[in-house]
Copies of this chain bind each other. A is one copy, B any other.
Amino acid sequence: MSEKQVVGILGGGQLGRMMVEAAHRLNIKCIILDAANSPAKQIDGGREHIDASFTDPDAIVELSKKCTLLTTEIEHINTDALAAVTKSVAVEPSPATLRCIQDKYLQKQHLQVFKIALPEFCDAPDQESVEKAGQEFGYPFVLKSKTLAYDGRGNYVVHQPSEIPTAIKALGDRPLYVEKFVPFSMEIAVMVVRSLDGKVYAYPTTETIQKDNVCHLVYAPARLPFSIQQRAQTLAMDAVRTFEGAGIYGVEMFVLQDGETILLNEIAPRPHNSGHYTIEACPTSQFEAHLRAICGLPFSEINTQLSTSTTHALMVNILGTDDPDYVSKIAKRSLSIPGATLHLYGKAESRKGRKMGHVTIISDSPQECERRYQMLLDVKDPVESPVVGIIMGSDSDLSKMKDAAVILDEFKVPYELTIVSAHRTPDRMVTYARTAASRGLRVIIAGAGGAAHLPGMVAAMTPLPVIGVPVKGSTLDGVDSLHSIVQMPRGVPVATVAINNSQNAGILACRILATFQPSLLAAMESFMDNMKEIVLEKADKLEKVGWKNYSA
Contacts and interface: CB of A to CB of B under 8 A. Distances in A.
Interface of A: 1, 3, 17, 21, 24-27, 37, 41-46, 49, 221, 226, 283-284, 292, 297-300, 302, 306-311, 327-328, 331-332, 335-346, 357, 362-364, 437, 442-443, 460, 463-465, 467, 482, 486-499, 501, 503-505, 507-508, 511-518, 521-522, 524-525, 527-528, 531
Contacts of A346: 24, 27
Given A297-B335, A463-B528, A486-B482, A496 B499 contact: no
A495 to B, nearest CB: 3
A302 B491 contact: no
A501 B490 contact: yes
Given A309-B516, A497-B486, A501-B488, A525 B21 contact: no
A460 B528 CA distance: 8
27 contacts: A1-B328, A3-B328, A24-B346, A25-B343, A26-B342, A27-B331, A27-B346, A42-B44, A45-B46, A302-B339, A306-B518, A308-B310, A309-B309, A443-B515, A463-B521, A463-B525, A465-B508, A467-B495, A482-B486, A488-B504, A491-B503, A492-B504, A493-B511, A495-B496, A496-B496, A496-B497, A512-B512
Contact of A292 (B21, B43, B335): B335
Contacts of A357: 27
B516 A311 contact: yes
Nearest to A441: B515
Given A44-B45, A45-B44, A498-B488, A307 B339 contact: yes
Contacts of A3: 328
A325 to B, nearest CB: 10
Given A24-B42, A342-B25, A491-B507, A517 B335 contact: no
Cβ-closest 7 pairs across A and B:
A309-B309, A495-B495, A493-B504, A463-B524, A516-B516, A493-B508, A27-B344
A509 B486 CA distance: 16
A483 to B, nearest CB: 8
A252 to B, nearest CB: 23
Contacts of A521: 437, 463
Given A302-B338, A309-B364, A486 B491 contact: no
Given A45-B41, A283-B341, A363-B308, A299 B515 contact: no
Contacts of A284: 341
Contacts of A362: 307
A283 B335 contact: no
B25 A344 contact: yes
A518 B490 CA distance: 23
A313 to B, nearest CB: 12
B498 A497 contact: no
Contacts of A514: 463-464
A27 B309 CA distance: 30
Contact of A45 (B42, B345, B524, B531): B42
The winner among A486, A494, A517 for most chain B CB atoms within 10 A is A486
A10 to B, nearest CB: 17
Contacts of A494: 497
Given A1-B331, A309-B310, A497 B495 contact: yes
Contacts of A344: 1, 25-27
A331 B2 CA distance: 10
Nearest to A461: B528
A283 B313 CA distance: 13
Nearest to A511: B465
Contacts of A499: 487
Contact of A515 (B25, B495, B503, B516): B516
Contacts of A497: 486, 488, 493-496
Contacts of A21: 21, 24
A364 B308 contact: yes
A486 B515 contact: no
A332 B297 contact: yes
Contacts of A493: 497-498, 501, 504-505, 507-508, 511
A521 B339 CA distance: 23
Given A297-B332, A522-B226, A490 B503 contact: yes
A364 to B, nearest CB: 5
A486 B486 CA distance: 9
A298 to B, nearest CB: 4
B1 A518 contact: no
